[in-house]
């Protein structure tokens, strides 16, 4: 008897061009298996334009980058929606679909991605993290809460030294008065944000508040 492919999510709840099955999803005729994904990055790009000084609807792209096991290649998915305009209701539904799909991918690949970071552990290092923002900096997150960059102290998850908060895909370290050190710090955590936060919050017993940033 021929096995059928069971669709996990109804097509109406998915971004355009995406179909989700039990073991993989398809995008632009490419099949991507969940258990082959080692890392993901989710971020946004906002495009503003005008015609004859008249502002046009703001275009927002949600970008999903997928990094596969045993490969240096990445798959880049550009998921668009229009923030303002005549068809706002439909576009809002598309945005919700994009958000839910990204959360779905996070949940389906959490175990793989967590295992990838756990393999970077050593005697003193909790895990290693590669930033994927403008600077692409490499960090060692030590088991005592210290964050090091290129072997030098960068910041710390010690709440006696820093006020720690987060916004969309970023984490902030504001140095408290009376402690020597460098200026306030931030790290782009758009790559595997959920794994990063889960690991540090559990390891250091933290509750990191979300704050709105411009």
Residue 163 lies in a domain: yes
Question: Which one is predicted more confidently, 162 or 2?
Answer: 162
- Which tokens go with 122? 């050593």
List Cβ neighbours of 58 (8 Å cut-off, separation of 6 or more). Answer: 46, 47, 48, 82, 83, 84
Asked if residue 99 has pLDDT above 60, the reply is: yes
Predicted local distance difference test score (pLDDT) of residue 166 = 96
Q: Do 147 and 101 fall into the same domain?
A: no
Average pLDDT over residues 162-190: 85
pLDDT range class, residue 178, cuts 50, 70, 90: low
Provide the domain limits for residue 33: 11-109
What mean pLDDT value characterizes the chain?
85
Which of 49, 77, 109 is at the close of a domain?
109
Q: Domain check: are 133 and 94 in the same one?
A: no
Q: Indicate if the pLDDT at residue 92 is higher than 80.
A: no
In which residue are the tokens 């509750």 written? Answer: 207
Residue 20 · residue 32 · CB < 8 Å: no
pLDDT for 83 beyond 70: no
pLDDT reported for residue 16: 82
Same domain as 103, residue 71 = yes
pLDDT at 118 over 90: yes
Q: How many domains is the chain partitioned into structurally?
A: 2
Of 44, 77, 109, the position where a domain reaches its end is 109
């Amino acid at each position: 008897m021929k096995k059928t492919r069971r669709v996990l999510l109804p097509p109406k709840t998915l971004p355009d061009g995406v179909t989700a099955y039990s073991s993989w999803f398809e995008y632009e005729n490419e099949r991507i298996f969940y258990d082959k994904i080692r890392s993901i990055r989710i971020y946004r790009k906002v495009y503003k334009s005008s015609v004859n000084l008249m502002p046009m609807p703001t275009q927002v792209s949600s970008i999903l980058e997928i990094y596969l096991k045993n490969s240096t290649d990445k798959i880049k998915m550009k998921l668009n929606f229009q923030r303002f305009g005549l068809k706002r209701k439909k576009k809002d539904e598309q945005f919700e679909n994009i958000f839910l799909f990204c959360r779905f991918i996070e949940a389906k690949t959490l175990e793989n991605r967590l295992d990838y970071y756990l393999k970077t552990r050593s005697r003193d290092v909790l895990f290693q993290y590669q930033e994927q923002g403008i600077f692409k900096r490499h960090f060692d997150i030590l088991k005592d809460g210290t964050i090091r960059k290129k072997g030098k102290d960068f910041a710390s998850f010690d709440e006696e030294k820093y006020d720690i908060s987060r916004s969309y895909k970023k984490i902030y370290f504001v140095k408290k008065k009376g402690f020597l050190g460098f200026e306030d710090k931030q790290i782009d955590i758009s790559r595997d944000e959920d794994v990063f936060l889960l690991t540090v919050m559990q390891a250091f017993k933290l509750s990191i508040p979300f704050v709105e940033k411009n």
